Amino acid sequence: MADTMQNKRVLITGANSGIGYVAAEMLAGMGAEVVLACRRPEAALDACNQIRKAHPAAKLDTLTLDLSSLESVRKAAAIVREKWPELDVLVNNAGIASMKRKTSVDGFELTFATNHLGPFLFTQLILPTLKAPGGRIVNVASTAHHQGHMHFDDLNLKKGYRVFKAYSQSKLANILFTRELARRLEAKGITVNCLHPGAVKTNIWPGDHWYEKLASAAIKLFLITPEEGARTTAWLASSDAVADKTGDYFYRCRKAKISREAADDNIARRLWDLSVEWTGLPADVAETR
């Protein structure tokens, strides 16, 4: 694999398994220095050891980050600003799908907290480290957003919770965030894009009970491998073909269509303002037009 990422530093959330792990291995193989930001430090270290088996000279480091906790996000962001003051690429990859409604330590519905609010705050707090111009932000979304709706009257889904309802809402939020942030950063030359990796065989649908795990195992029989799913992530992080593309959604390394709601600028701004409020992000920190 060509050393197309020499002297580049990439931070990937949820990089200890699945798509995130494979993307980390791909980019390390291209010569990038990769920071694996994971909830469990031991899992991150294990992933580093596995990557070094394939790429002995890989430049790897780890960061403890629990995206469901705003306190953890703030602590991790502070470490990033001090330890890695210059990043070339941020990949917001980590995500969950909770079979039952749960709440985060901050009181938000867990899927929305982990898949949107955490990445929103983390991205904002480490923006000063992204190279400008030339920095890239890659958000892993999903085709599930086509079935998603922003339930502004009940974003925490206290009424009628269903796992796919929560997941599709959070993936829609990923695309709305991508488009709004892309507009706000365009003048700085930092690109922001998102992608659907495909229906990938990962641990995102683990389940808490035997029947949920059985259903998850059955679903995985029809899914693609993480290696296939990670290609678009690595491509958006490294390819010259998308160096000047921003605010777009990709599938299989090609621009793809988004839902009508995902393309609504008013909804994107409404979600942005609410996210600023819910994460406690100071107004002078949030990127503005």
Active centre residues (catalytic): 167
- CB-CB contact of 213 with 207 (8 Å): yes
Handedness of CA 128, 112, 168, 21 (dihedral sign): positive
CA 243 to chain CA centroid, Å, is: 19
Q: CA-CA distance, 51 to 39, in Å (whole number)?
A: 18
CA nearest neighbour of 137 among 76, 74, 191: 191
The edge-to-edge listing of strands for the beta sheet with 59-64 is: 59-64, 33-38, 9-13, 89-92, 136-140, 191-196, 249-251, 254-255
- CB-CB contact of 23 with 237 (8 Å): yes
- CB-CB contact of 191 with 182 (8 Å): yes
